[in-house]
Structure 1
Amino acid sequence: MRKLLMVLVLCGFTSCSLFESTEKKTQKLVEKELLEIDWTDVDDYPLFSDCDELLSKEIQKQCFEEKLLLHLSADLQEFQLTSETEIKDVVFLDFRIENDGAITIINIENKEIFGSQMEKFEDKVAKSLKSLPRIEPALKRGIPVSAKFRIPIFLNSK
């Protein structure tokens, strides 16, 4: 009788998870899965309509960067930076492509080299980004997500 009681007590302790609700089990699985996701990387990069979404992640990234840089460089060629001294420097543009495809400028680093022309430059960059063709947002596990980017803008005034 005593052995039977011990077996029943041991079975009771080991089978507690059998009585756990499916909600709690699901919640534990979701929490475990969230911990395993690499949130610093996306599964698919933002894409312009003429970039192929079926290609590899690296080729998607390359297509996105090429289209973006071609557009920005063409627009910024028109910006005339006037300076008494020759300027050869780099400005970094930090921006985010939101989960709906909208673009938000986060920061322009090293912008003090523009002096009084800074507002004109910021306006030109903002207009250039807004005039980009429609961008499909980055995807993480099939869900549109925001993604931050940083691009260098090389300045050369003579």
Structure 2
Amino acid sequence: MKKIIPYIFLISVVSCQYFEKEVPSEQELMEKQMKEINWKEVDEYPSVADCEAISDETLRKQCFFEFLASTIQQKLSVDTLSVLYPELDTIEVRVTINPDASMQFEPQFPKDTVAYDTIKIDSILRVKLVDFPKVNPAIKRGIPVKTQFVLPVIIKTEK
């Protein structure tokens, strides 16, 4: 028994090195976590009060985009846009929602467009899309973030 005790002691001292692990630095941990984050997607899409009650994320996103498109269409339907440009049936609008819930709208036109007065259409959009309903910004890791997307808006002409 006396001969076994030194061996057990020696084995336990030598095996301690297997339990020691190098602790990564704070910088290494942060870099690793930053690489794991998908910066192209948000945790929660922007939303409006009408869509908050929907629990399914996909349906809530669809509800938000439908609400946004219909509200823009409604505000533009009372406009001279369809009179000025009867051939224009759809406008792609870049919508930017900032973390403070403010919004910007910019019409997107093909680069070779000369048929439309883009400055006039832009000014009409800016005038008509004021007093927009409150939109809750997108959330990424618990923090409101800026989101941007292009939304096709159909300009309805009443006949």
Please confirm whether the aligned pair reaches a TM-score higher than 0.5, indicating the same fold. Answer: yes
Aligned residue for 2:123? 123
Normalised TM-score (structure 1): 0.72
Aligned ranges for residues 1-158 of structure 1 at < 5 Å?
17=22, 24=25, 26-52=26-52, 55-80=55-80, 81-83=83-85, 87-106=87-106, 108-110=108-110, 112-115=114-117, 118-155=118-155
Answer whether contact 1:48 1:136 (CA < 8 A) is retained.
yes
CA contact (8 A) 2:98 2:137 kept: yes
- Following the alignment from structure 2 to structure 1, what is the Cα–Cα distance between the partners of residues 138 and 116? 32
CA distance in 1, matches of 2:155, 2:44: 31
* Cα distance in 2, alignment partners of residues 124 and 98 from structure 1: 22
Which one has the bigger helix percentage? Answer: 1
Per-residue deviation, 1:64? 0.9
Q: Deviations over 1:112-157 (max 9, x none)?
A: 4323xx3342123223433211111000111101111101133577
Give CA-to-partner distance per residue, 1:16-68, whole Å, 9 cap, x none.
Answer: 825x7xxx2x3222211111111111111111122216612212211211211
AA in 1 matched with 2:44: D
Q: Distance in 2 between matches of 1:137 and 1:52?
A: 12
Q: Partners in 2 of 1:141 and 1:49 — Cα distance?
A: 21
Larger CA Rg, structure 1 vs 2: 2
Unaligned runs of 5+ in 1: none
Query: Secondary structure of 2:51's match?
Result: coil
Percent identity, please.
Answer: 28
Normalising by the residue count of structure 2, what TM-score does the alignment of the two structures yield?
0.71
Tell me the matched-pair count: 142
Aligned residues: CA RMSD: 3.1
Structure 1 residue identity aligned to 2:102: A
